[in-house]
Structure 1
């Protein structure tokens, strides 16, 4: 089973110089691609000179995470594709557990490795930790990370388990299943596209999994820092998109309303913390959400056409309540 490892890049020369060597070194039986989102730095010339074995996919404009990968994956023939951030250091033999996992169950369509923090290697990394889940209100959380509280890794999550979503920082997906559910939604541009994709894969009857014996180290914030209001904008808007497209329960409108109320409270909290730019980002996120609502309702009907009747009940109704009211800040305490 061959894997196509696709690294999306935009003006990331320094990150490629730091992280690409480990990917090339530890992926020699597979194919490494750099998909470039119209960089203006020396990224491509450096890759071509230093790593001629790496295949280059060039795009004529910055299409973001979703659009960039959708274009790039048309040029990738491998059965399994890894969507890998350009700020990931991989470890020796990291791909063997992944191929074993996919061979073990044909219903697995997407998976991730264990994500540890490159800046603090004893701890999980925010973007995916030991696998992602959603509460009833579509707030994402992870085994190893609740909101901004990240746990130290004591191998407490080394068991195999089904996930709600796998991290887009190092997302392995079957190309056939990826195309079957319509690829990544380019309306998202950045952030939470992998959650939407995995939710649609689950609707189609596939499983999302983790190979905990495969480890990578993620720098995080390599493209858009955590404190950037643009990240706040995308996360809030795209999370609402996820509910409209993928929550097919009878009371989804009530869930959407409650979520928007909680968004308002989050905005007030930003104001109290003297972060007006993030408050404005939430307002803009809601305005953009209303602007795209009609399109998302159409996509909801598209998903319903292939969705199975089976569904899983979220382990947690409200991670916000568990974290801010019950003061529970790790996965074991909230599940």
Structure 2
């Protein structure tokens, strides 16, 4: 594997405009990715048609039927085109297996057929500074000289529509109550150093994550038991058991159109879509059950509070989401 190479994965689901913008952003880097894998998680809109129309007008099609890859017993077709001298592999999944499934599909394709040592996982709703790949690669090289166990690099995210405000520098997790919080949310970028010194960061945000390909393989990728949410916290929890560490860097700025890839925003409770709400509740209980069963009782109390609160405001859709989420506790 080449220590200098980075390959990227972009996961698309009904967000092809964002995906194309992310792809263009990655193509304008001072250090270009060795290849970019775009995975479509069985979009239900016109994403595929829009993508190919864009490809025909802006890229060079090499082979629309380049090959296939089998992942989780699902056969997926692979197409190849070139954009700005970068090989772009487009993988079309016939099923929507969730966030972890789609990212694993793309990352495993890189691990199987590529030669890059580093994999960049990117949500479609992020945009990169022109030096992002170079700065992330250099950060990895720098930390490796000090600690070989640092194999995952997280980033500082700012709001795309308000880049002077931090969206997150990472996440904190309270296992007693099962609550995740984005560290630095809504704070000024100018206060970043103070925030990093005063607040604990338990995990990097999965919207943009750099990881060693060998580490990705060793950990078995993202946990596909989660359809959406908690994947990065689960990954870091498993990594810690193997003494693998992560680091958050602010050496480059990543712009995040928060919620753009799932149709929600966590700036306010009301803005969280019912779909996001459903999987957030399920994944929270599943994570606690897997890693902190001793705190299951207190988390159930919190969950019951969620149910009662939703009933009180007569939000019956989200009430039903909370009730159905309990099924993960009885599944093996």
Using the size of structure 1 for normalisation, the TM-score is 0.77
- Structure 1 pair 100–19 and aligned structure 2 pair: CA distance change class (3 A): closer
Q: Which residues of 2 match residues 245-324 of structure 1 at below 5 A?
A: 245-247=290-292, 252-253=293-294, 255-287=295-327, 289-292=328-331, 294=332
1:257 deviates by 0.8
In the alignment, which residue of structure 2 is the partner of 1:69?
103
1:62 deviates by 2.0
Structure 1 residue corresponding to 2:41, chosen from 37, 42, 51: 37
- Structure 1 pair 228–101 and aligned structure 2 pair: CA distance change class (3 A): same
Q: Which residues of 2 match residues 121-270 of structure 1 at below 5 A?
A: 121-125=163-167, 129-137=168-176, 138-145=178-185, 150-157=186-193, 163-226=201-264, 227-247=272-292, 252-253=293-294, 255-270=295-310
Q: Unpaired segments of 5 or more residues in structure 1?
A: 295-335
1:28 deviates by 4.6
1:228 deviates by 1.2
In the alignment, which residue of structure 1 is the partner of 2:77?
none
**2-structure distance, mates of 1:97, 1:35:** 25
In the alignment, which residue of structure 1 is the partner of 2:73?
none
**SS at structure 2 position matched to 1:156:** helix
In the alignment, which residue of structure 1 is the partner of 2:124?
86
**2-structure distance, mates of 1:222, 1:43:** 17
Q: Kindly tell me the number of residue pairs found equivalent between the two proteins.
A: 280
Whether contact under 8 Å (1:143, 1:157) holds in the other structure is no
**2-structure distance, mates of 1:2, 1:199:** 27
**2-structure distance, mates of 1:173, 1:162:** 21
Structure 1 residue corresponding to 2:89, chosen from 43, 48, 55: 55
1:88 deviates by 0.7
**SS at structure 2 position matched to 1:267:** helix
The structure with the largest strand share of the pair is 2
1:89 deviates by 1.0
**1-structure distance, mates of 2:150, 2:230:** 20
**2-structure distance, mates of 1:17, 1:173:** 23
Whether contact under 8 Å (2:39, 2:92) holds in the other structure is yes
Structure 1 residue corresponding to 2:138, chosen from 100, 110, 122: 100
**1-structure distance, mates of 2:273, 2:280:** 11
Per-residue CA shift, 1:87-139, capped at 9, x if unaligned? 111102112332222222321122222100112222122xxx11122123242
RMSD: 2.2
Per-residue CA shift, 1:10-34, capped at 9, x if unaligned? 2322223433322211265222221
**2-structure distance, mates of 1:75, 1:21:** 21
